[in-house]
């Protein structure tokens, strides 16, 4: 199994406050003691490459060998399902038991071959799955997605089923460590199950799992506490959370700030900030998409600055970063500690090495023209999303 090398680290807990020079290549020590040897992360993209066994295979190994070239500080997997009966999409990887141990170990070895950390993003889709994948989805309440042709109305979870889902997350995290992942990211953004519980629009429960924010956040916090207890204090535990859902009456920035403070007290190591869900993707909101590249480069930076005032958590931002100059400027500002990028890893040959070594100053935007204005605007917005 590939071994992650040791690197000189900066001081822990929010160590990007005053980095000098080439901030992107500075190391970062996390709260648990783990070290990211630079500040570039490959953010999660759902791969949908698994077969009917929901196991990683040769295509995963080849893909992550490519991602590992150039040794970014962190690679995060696409959303790995904690329950193989509840998938986000066909082709999802599910990690639920000891089967396919070798396949997972080959995957983690490939991803770690360049010295990067490789974290498993673990997730449950809740209601956010096509009826052609799951005709009987689950959620906190029976609030369905607006597209009822594509998405079935969910059944509210019982208290016993909620406890079982918590156990599923814990089991998947423990297996991830056993199989060679070097950390986990709990997916509580983008409208998936944990995000559904956080939002008052989709969580209309009147028991201990709904109502006030502390109750709506209970599922996430129980998972975080129990995962940490199960994997140990030296294993990175991260959370991906929305800054907001961008829906009136939904999960708002003030809610997110309060939950983030809960997460800091729970001892997570890295917080990734994102936003939106299937009904309101953050990049497809009304308004002009064609602004200057610099204005679009970091959609969640303003929110990150507000987070930084209230917490010393290590922060990761994903969405819109395309120029190396702006990446370094952002890191040097102290607002965030890690820069997440995704599509450039797919579109640019040897991306990490070229970007880290200053051979690539800016990722060019691909030609996204279909002749249909709405489609073109969505495609352009999607390019800047990851």
Question: pLDDT tens digit string along 168-200?
Answer: 999 999 999 999 999 999 999 989 999 999 999
- Residue pLDDT, tens place only, 264-308: 999 999 999 986 555 555 533 444 444 544 444 456 788 999 999
Q: What tens digit of pLDDT does each residue of 8-51 get?
A: 333 333 443 333 569 999 999 999 999 999 999 999 999 999 99
Distance CA 276, CA 284 (A): 9
- Residue 203 inside a domain? The answer is yes
> What is the pLDDT at residue 250?
76
What's the domain count of the chain?
1
Residue 14 lies in a domain: no
DSSP assignments along 206-264, one per residue: -STTSSSHHHHTHHHHHHHHHHHHHH-TTS-EEEEEES---STTSS-HHHHHHHHHHHH
Task: Determine the length of the chain.
Answer: 386
Q: Is residue 71, in this structure, part of any structural domain at all?
A: yes
Distance between CA atoms of residues 90 and 130, nearest Å:
9
Task: Supply the pLDDT for residue 251.
Answer: 85
- Compute the half-sphere exposure of residue 104: CA atoms within 13 Å on the CB side of its CA: 26
Q: Residue-wise over 15-38: b if at least 16 C-beta within 10 A, else e?
A: bbeebeebbbbbbbbbbbebbbbb
Confidence of residue 364 (pLDDT cuts 50, 70, 90): confident
Higher pLDDT, 56 or 372: 56
- Rounded distance, CA 196 to CA 88, Å? 14
- The CATH number covering residue 91 comes to 3.20.20.70
Distance CA 42, CA 323 (A): 15
Q: Is residue 29 part of a domain?
A: yes
Residue with tokens 């141990």: 101
The answer to whether position 16 is within a domain reads no
Which of 350, 343, 349 has its CA nearest to residue 366? 343
Residue span of the structural domain in which 75 resides:
23-385
Whether 17 is in a domain gets the answer: no
How far, rounded to the nearest angstrom, does the alpha carbon of residue 117 sit from its chain's CA centroid?
14
Average pLDDT of the chain is: 87
- The structure tokens 């809960």 sit at 262
Write the CA distances from 265 to 214, 258, 260, 269, 357, integer angstroms. Answer: 14, 11, 9, 11, 37
Q: Using an 8 Å Cβ cutoff, are 154 and 192 in contact?
A: no
- Give the Cα separation of 219 and 349 in Å (integer): 40
| Structure-block tokens of residue 206 | 């009147």
The residue written with tokens 């698994």 in the block is 50
Q: What are phi and psi of 186, to 5 degrees?
A: -85, 120
Q: Are 102 and 55 in contact (CB under 8 A)?
A: no
* Residue 381, pLDDT score: 53
Mean pLDDT of 73-86: 98
Helix (H, G, I), strand (E, B) or coil at 121: strand
Does residue 149 lie within any of the structural domains?
yes
Tens-place pLDDT, residues 226-273: 999 999 999 999 999 988 766 666 788 999 999 999 999 999 999 999
Exposure string over 222-259, b if 16+ CB within 10 A, otherwise e: bbbeebbebbeeebbbbbbbbbbbbbeebbbeebbbeb
340: confidence class by pLDDT, cuts 50, 70, 90: very high
Domain assignment present for 85: yes
Residue 66 vs residues 75, 156, 183: alpha-carbon distances, Å: 11, 41, 20
Res 5 pLDDT > 60: no
């Amino acid at each position: 199994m590939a071994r992650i090398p040791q690197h000189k680290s900066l001081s822990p807990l929010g160590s990007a406050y005053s980095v000098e020079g080439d901030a992107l290549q500075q190391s970062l020590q996390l709260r648990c003691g783990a070290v990211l040897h630079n500040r570039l992360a490959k953010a999660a993209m759902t791969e949908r490459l698994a077969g009917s066994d929901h196991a990683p295979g040769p295509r995963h190994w080849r893909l992550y060998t490519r991602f590992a070239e150039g040794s970014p500080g962190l690679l995060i997997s696409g959303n790995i399902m904690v329950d193989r009966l509840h998938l986000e999409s066909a082709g999802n990887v599910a990690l639920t038991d000891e089967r396919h141990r070798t396949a997972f170990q080959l995957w983690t070895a490939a991803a770690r071959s360049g010295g990067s950390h490789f974290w498993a993003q673990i997730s449950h889709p809740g209601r956010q799955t096509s009826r052609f994948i799951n005709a009987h989805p689950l959620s906190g309440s029976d609030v369905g997605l607006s597209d009822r042709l594509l998405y079935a109305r969910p059944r509210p979870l019982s208290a016993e089923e909620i406890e079982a889902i918590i156990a599923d997350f814990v089991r998947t995290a423990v297996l991830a460590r056993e199989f060679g992942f070097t950390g986990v990211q709990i997916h509580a953004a983008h409208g998936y199950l944990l995000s559904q519980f956080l939002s008052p629009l989709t969580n209309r429960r009147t028991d201990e799992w709904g109502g006030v924010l502390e109750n709506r956040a209970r599922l996430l916090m129980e998972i975080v506490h129990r995962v940490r207890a199960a994997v140990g204090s030296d294993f990175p535990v991260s959370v991906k959370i929305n800054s907001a859902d961008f829906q009136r009456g939904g999960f708002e920035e003030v809610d997110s700030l309060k939950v983030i403070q809960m997460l800091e007290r729970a001892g997570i190591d890295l917080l990734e900030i994102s936003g939106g869900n299937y009904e309101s993707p953050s990049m497809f909101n009304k308004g002009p998409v064609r602004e200057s590249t610099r204005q679009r480069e970091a959609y969640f930076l303003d929110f990150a600055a507000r987070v930084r005032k209230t917490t010393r958590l290590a922060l990761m931002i994903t969405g819109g970063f395309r120029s190396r100059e702006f990446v370094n400027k952002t890191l040097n500002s102290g607002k965030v500690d890690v820069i997440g990028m995704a599509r450039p890893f797919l579109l640019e040959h040897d991306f990490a090495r070229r970007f880290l070594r200053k051979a690539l100053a800016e990722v060019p935007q691909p030609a996204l023209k279909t002749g249909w204005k709405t489609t073109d605007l969505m495609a352009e917005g999607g390019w800047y999303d990851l």
